[in-house]
Amino acid sequence: MANLNNLRHSTSHLLAAAVTSLWPKAKPTLGPPIEDGFYYDFADLTISEEDLPKIETKMRELVKNWDSFEKIECRGGHVDQPSKEIKYFKLLSVAGAYWRGSEKNPMLTRIYGTVFPTQKELDEYLTMLEEAKKGDHRKIGKELELFMFHETAPGMAYWLPKGVKLYLQLVDFWRKEHEKYNYQEIVSPLINKKELYETSGHWDHYKEYMFLSETEEGETYVLKPMNCPNAMVVFASSTRSYRDLPLKLSDTDTLHRFERSGTLSGLLRIREFRQDDAHIFIEENQIKETYKELFEITEKFYSIFGLKYRFRLGTRPEKFMGERKTWDKAEAELKEILETSGEEYSILEGDGAFYGPKIDILMKDSLGRDWQMGTLQLDFQIPKRFNLKYSAKDGTTKTPVVVHRVVYGSLERFIGIITEHFGGAFPVWLSPVQAKVLPITERNLDYAKKVGKRDRQGKDYGPVKVEDFISGVRKEIDEKSLD
């Protein structure tokens, strides 16, 4: 049996064959495997989801006589025997998508589907999709009055009072825990000249995701898309010694990235967000100890939510900065750290950052879905570009290594994921409303308010809600509503 990516990619070819058989003028463009299945983009095709059963029928008809692939241009991979291996598939939806993700290009019709080696796996996945629809974080967030969106700010959330409480609880917990590990929090400018990102290398590798602004003086400014260049500037602002290392600079600044409108998805894919970011400046001989501590922090953060996680090593991408031998050394270092740790991990070739290999934190939610959360990135490159130096113990001047790390990931994405994971029933310590006082009669109302006020002042627990209307009591009890 072919691996799952080959199966998905081969089924996308089958989809293209079926569509062009039914609509001869349709032009297939691109059909890659993706995390949960596959899609194919078509030009000159107008269909709706009502057409999907017809396309599926044609796919099943065509695959019966499809014995093998003849490789002409597509690099694959492909299954060996399509007629025997492509059996358990389902077309899921139809959407619009721009060619190569750019809004400057023509709009195409995208058909999504999924495929599995067995009927059982397909059925389980389709059941999970139905459950996911019921627990969509956008639906729950609206019901619980946590956050909202408006058409005038696509990809940017409005945080409502209850959502702000939840947000700040996460930040406060993060801040207190990191103080125990001697992290020092900084705040840096939201807007920076493009020269900062030219120095870091992000201008060449990340420009398409930046919000840019031109001034009358002809200068180009960037709405900050990441924190690391600013952390480099802070390190360079003082004379540093090996005695200062590890130097752990943390921040939760607001970031902006221009994600294409077609990719936006509630809090999960967003343009404005905050990360629980930190940059750790270390000597080379401190790499192992630093990652050991980061694994400890990861365990502490994820266990308090009852979240299961694993690690994934991302190696040198096609477009990278620096020398191959430096990359090989860094990758070998991270592989050894993972092996020694005994933690479960996988390897995704070519998925590293442009400046260094990384270890991503993958979390499995209550529906069995994997989500990429935080990341722990090893960087030998950007410190060199900023000419960062410290005085080593032997009297020489050296360049520090930097570990870029986030544990939550973006706070918005983390909240979106745990909202779906918990179905809105957050752990008590995190809940925006941790207790309710329900007056049974009108004469109890004033006393109920005193109780709520007393508990807030006494800090016996967090936010307390007092129901003002007697009619609300039965509703609260009958519906068991969440806050």
Rounded CA-CA distance 329/394 in Å is: 23
137 is in an annotated binding site: no
Residues 169, 202, 228, 381: which is the catalytic one? Answer: 228
Residues 110, 202, 274, 404: which is the catalytic one? Answer: 404
Residues 279, 405, 413, 421: which is the catalytic one? Answer: 279
Residues 41, 277, 379, 483: which is the catalytic one? Answer: 277
Residues 8, 248, 274, 275: which is the catalytic one? Answer: 275
Rounded CA-CA distance 283/296 in Å is: 20
Is residue 358 part of the annotated active site? The answer reads: yes
Q: How many CB atoms lie within 10 A of CB 96?
A: 10
Question: Which tokens belong to 349?
Answer: 């070739």
Is residue 275 part of the annotated active site? The answer reads: yes
Amino acid identity, residue 128?
M
Is residue 175 part of the annotated active site? The answer reads: no
Using the 8-state DSSP alphabet, how is residue 395 labeled? Answer: S
Distance (Å) of CA 95 to CA 35, 166, 386:
17, 33, 44
Rounded CA-CA distance 435/424 in Å is: 15
Residues 358, 369, 405, 413: which is the catalytic one? Answer: 358
Is residue 404 part of the annotated active site? The answer reads: yes
Tally the C-alpha atoms within 13 A of residue 282's C-alpha that lie toward its C-beta. 20
Shortest CA distance to 417 belongs to which of 236, 270, 224? 270
228 is in an annotated binding site: yes
Tally the C-alpha atoms within 13 A of residue 86's C-alpha that lie toward its C-beta. 33
Is residue 178 part of the annotated active site? The answer reads: no
Distance (Å) of CA 113 to CA 43, 49, 89:
18, 12, 7
Residues 58, 178, 257, 413: which is the catalytic one? Answer: 257
Contacts 24+ apart (CB under 8 A), 151-158: 153/272, 154/261, 154/264, 154/271, 155/259, 155/261, 155/264, 155/269, 155/270, 155/271, 155/272, 156/270, 156/271, 156/272, 157/267, 157/270, 157/272, 157/412
DSSP string covering 211-271: EEEE-TTS-EEEE---SHHHHHHHHHTS--BGGG-SEEEEE--EEE----GGG-BTTTB-S
DSSP string covering 321-347: -S-HHHHHHHHHHHHHHHHHHT--EEE
Binding-site sequence positions for Zn(2+): 228, 279, 404
Binding-site sequence positions: 228, 279, 404
- For the annotated catalytic residues, the residue numbers are 228, 257, 275, 277, 279, 358, 404
